[in-house]
Amino acid sequence: MNQYQQLYEENRDVLGERGDELKAFLESAAEIDKVFAPETYAVNLRRLKLPVDAAKSFKCAVPAVSTTPALVVNDIFQPSKRLPEGVTFMSLRAAAELHPEWIPASVRDDIKSAESRLNDLLWTDGALIRIGQNVRPERPLQLVNILSAPMDLMVCRRVIIVVESGADAKLLLCDHTQDSEHNYLVNELIEVSVAEGGRLSLDRVEESSPLTVRRSEMHVQVGANARFCSTSSLLTCGDSSSKINVSLDASGAEASVNGMVIASGTQTPAFHTRIRHKADHTLSNQVFKYVADGQSNCTFDGLIIVDESARFTEAYQTNHNLLASNDAKMHTEPTLEIYCDEVKCSHGATTGQLDDTALFYMRSRGIPEAEARRMLMEAFLSDVIANVGIDSLRERLRHLVERRFSALAEGSDSCADCSAINALKQE
């Protein structure tokens, strides 16, 4: 932890009060993930403008989706041009000055992790998205996170999403690494709240480089009769770990938390979900699917907790995995903790290989083996794509997945042409 303490010493002036907390934290933070240990990452505490213009050169791979977009380059927010009425979509740093009351004091105590504490102390910017009461923006909002720097960089990014009562919004979060030369460490903290009767569809797409380490934590609070739907699509990554914690706080709250992963090479993707039912008549549904190729080492662990007070709860979880190579590994650990009798819960996990009879059937019709395999892998993921909330993203994802598998068939673990397809659609 020496490097962070030194960081603190050198940046006492910009860190201010946070600095003292940081110091205390660092002195006691023995349990922090070892990926934070290397002393090679720079942290841009002084908000220096890095000599890159990612916004200019960046091309979104999801261009067919017509959205209200904003960029976060490393951790510097670049706003969208025009916003629908009732929608705030701004730099978190600016929001902290203008509306300090909108920023949660710190991550809630019961879910505090060392990484999120570090984020809390070191975050320099990110985004605040706030959908006003009963506001229903027509287009999805899109936040594109880009990593692009002339040096190895650590980014502490924070995103706060507030959906007020009766509001209904769709949000697409994209994570891209712009280059494959530098090491990036992303410590991301996303805090979401959906108030009574509100709805949020939050879809995430990650295409990061093999040298990117991501530690993402998302905390979601869902209010009475509110609904949170999320699909995370991990197309390429390095060492990527996402925690998704959802708390169904009041009666009638619902969450649908889904994900798909395509892993190859030596990638190590992980999802850790924790869905807590705190109130009666709450519903959660999880579907996670992984295709593990190469020597990838994949993890899914999903925890469902049903509190004693959460009567008439329904909680379902499935995790199906396809091992596309003999060297790929899948660790899956579904856990149920149920403290209430009147509930319907189920979980199921399977890990298998491609169906040989289907493969032979396809080949007997003339479809070459490699293509048949690719079609079966795409088919395997198709129900996760079907769950994606943003209509136009579904078609786009099918295309991205197809391209990812085509690249795999040609021996590539990334989609190098990711960013080269089309310009980000600005309205």
Partner 1 sequence: MLLDVRGLRASIDGKEILKGINLQVRPGEVHAIMGPNGSGKSTFSEVLAGAPAFTVMDGEAWLNGVNLLELSPENRSHEGLFLSFQYPVEIPGVSMANFMKAAINAKRKYFGQEPLTAAEFLKLMKEKRSVVELDSKLASRSVNEGFSGGEKKRNEIFQMAMLEPKLSILDETDSGLDIDALRVVAEGVNKLHTPQNATIVITHYQRLLDYIKPDFVHVLYKGRIVRTGGPELALELEERGYDWIKNEIDAQEQ
For 307, the 3-state DSSP assignment is coil
CB-nearer residue toward partner 1: 192 or 381: 381
61, 147 contact by CB (below 8 A): no
Q: How far apart are CA 72 and CA 62, in angstroms?
A: 16
> Taking the alpha carbons of 388, 133, 163, 82 in that order, is the dihedral positive or negative?
positive
Q: Closer to partner 1 by CB, 29 or 375: give it.
A: 375
Query: What angle, rounded to 10 degrees, do the helices at 369-386 and 356-364 form?
Result: 120
Stretch that binds partner 1, among 177-185, 279-287, 344-352, 354-362 (CB under 8 A): 354-362
The residue from 5, 20, 353, 361 that contacts partner 1 (CB under 8 A) is: 361
Contact status: 339 vs partner 1 (CB under 8 A) = no
CB of 333 or CB of 369, closer to partner 1: 369
Binding track over 122-141 against partner 1, x by CB under 8 A: --------------------
Residue closer to partner 1 by CB (options 272, 398) is 398
Judged by CB under 8 A, does residue 152 bind partner 1? no
Report the residue number, 275 or 384, with the smaller CB distance to partner 1. 384
Distance CA 427, CA 425 (A): 6
By CB under 8 A, name the one of 97, 365, 411, 423 that touches partner 1: 365
Q: By CB under 8 A, is residue 352 in contact with partner 1? A: no
Among 56, 105, 364, 423, binds partner 1 (CB under 8 A): 364
Indicate which single residue of 77, 184, 380, 405 sits in contact with partner 1 (rule: CB under 8 A): 380
Written as six digits, the tokens of 395 are: 């078609």
Establish if 360 lies at the interface with partner 1 (CB under 8 A): yes
Amino acid at 379: A
* Burial readout 304-318 (b: 16 or more C-beta within 10 A, e: otherwise): bbbbeebbebbbbbb
Asked whether the beta carbons of 162 and 193 are under 8 A apart, the reply is: yes
Q: Which of 3, 285, 382, 387 binds partner 1 (CB under 8 A)?
A: 382
Q: Is residue 205 classed as helix, strand or coil in its secondary structure?
A: strand
Structure-token pair, residue 114 = 């060392």
How far CA 146 is from CA of 35, 41, 194, in Å, comes to: 20, 17, 26
| Closest listed residue to residue 300, CA positions, set 325, 276, 324, 321 | 321
The answer to the question of residue 357 lying near partner 1 (CB under 8 A) is yes
Burial label, 63 (beta-carbon count in 10 A; 0-12, 13-18, 19+): middle
Kindly state whether residue 405 participates in binding partner 1, applying the rule CB under 8 A.
no
Q: How far is CA 352 from the centre of its chain?
A: 26
Q: Applying CB under 8 A, does 412 fall inside the site for partner 1? A: no
**For partner 1, the closer CB: 98 or 370:** 370
Is residue 362 a contact residue for partner 1 (CB under 8 A)?
A: yes
Contact between residue 179 and residue 207 where contact means Cβ atoms under 8 Å apart: no
Taking the complex as a whole, how short is the minimal distance between the CB of residue 379 and partner 1, in angstroms? 3
Asked if 369 touches partner 1 (CB under 8 A), the answer is yes
Q: Which is nearer to partner 1, 77 or 380 (CB)?
A: 380
Give residues 64-83 in contact with partner 1 (rule: CB under 8 A): none
379 binds partner 1 (CB under 8 A): yes
Among 16, 51, 100, 366, binds partner 1 (CB under 8 A): 366
Positions touching partner 1 (CB under 8 A) are: 355-358, 360-369, 371-372, 375-376, 378-383
